[in-house]
Amino acid sequence: MADPIIIAVPKGRILAEAVPLLERAGIVPEAAFRDEDSRALRFSTNNPGIDLIRVRAFDVATFVAHGAAQLGIVGSDVLAEFDYSELYAPVDLGIGHCRLSVAEPADMAANDDPRGWSHVRVATKYPHVTEAHFAARGVSAECVKLNGAMELAPLLGLAPRIVDLVSSGRTLKENGLVEVEVICEVTSRLIVNRAAFKTRGQVVPLVEAFRRAVSSPLPLAGGAGGGPETSKAAA
């Protein structure tokens, strides 16, 4: 029997939005997949030929780029930061809406004008995107790489500004920060390993199932699955 197709899905806020999309594509995860307290990392689905793994968002791109997973769901922010040539992103899934923004303490912002910046020191987990953004404006950017708790950087003197994902803005507000510039809007994309796209026959139908799922409000009969539940629905 051929190895199952592996789809990498990020932990965290995107997970809740990804599950209905998977189901509309005909992929129904086992119950434990929805349990964020579960320590399991690999999960079965209604299709014995498809498994899911649940990993950190940045790791989704790495698993798929190196062929350990054949498909994945990941934010366009991650794609921009890593820019893996091995990845193909054929479908904007329309979930995970947020933005990548520059933020600074509110009292600094009151007298600051981003148009006048010539050099910035920024804490971020997106150093490549940040440097490219400021370089395009002729601004020199010194990036301090952090993987979390970005909002602490200005408070503790590590860097006066941060570049991070912003959704509602609540976390910024509760830590005395405000957005001063939006770098880009972010949505989640379906990504595919380029080699798998050409060599694994199941991948193209899966991509098309996700494409249809984005525009379909109802589960797709048969979908990408062909497993017991989807076959029963088709019958």
Q: Predicted confidence band at 36 (pLDDT cuts at 50, 70, 90)?
A: confident
Instruction: Tell me, yes or no, if the two domains 5-96+187-234 and 98-182 fold the same way.
Output: yes
What percent of the chain has a predicted confidence (pLDDT) above 90? 85
Query: What count of Cα atoms within 13 Å lies in the side-chain half-sphere of residue 138?
Result: 3
Q: How many residues does the chain have?
A: 235
CATH code, 5-96+187-234:
3.40.190.10
pTM (2 decimals)? 0.87
Is CATH 1.10.1040.10 what the domain over 98-182 is classified as, yes or no? no
pLDDT tens digit string along 7-31? 999 988 899 999 999 999 999 999 9
When pLDDT is averaged across residues 165-183 and rounded to a whole number, the result is: 95
Domain ranges in the chain are 5-96+187-234, 98-182
Name the average pLDDT for the chain.
91
73/7 Cα distance (integer angstroms): 8
181: how many CB neighbours lie within 10 A of its CB? 17
CA neighbor of 57 nearest in space, from 26, 91, 12: 12
Where is average pLDDT lowest: 33-37, 80-84, 211-215, 216-220?
Answer: 216-220
Q: Beta strands 71-75 and 188-193: pairing type?
A: antiparallel
**Radius of gyration of the chain from Cα atoms?**
20
pLDDT at 37: 83
pLDDT at 233: 32
Q: Is residue 142 predicted with pLDDT exceeding 50?
A: yes
74/56 Cα distance (integer angstroms): 10
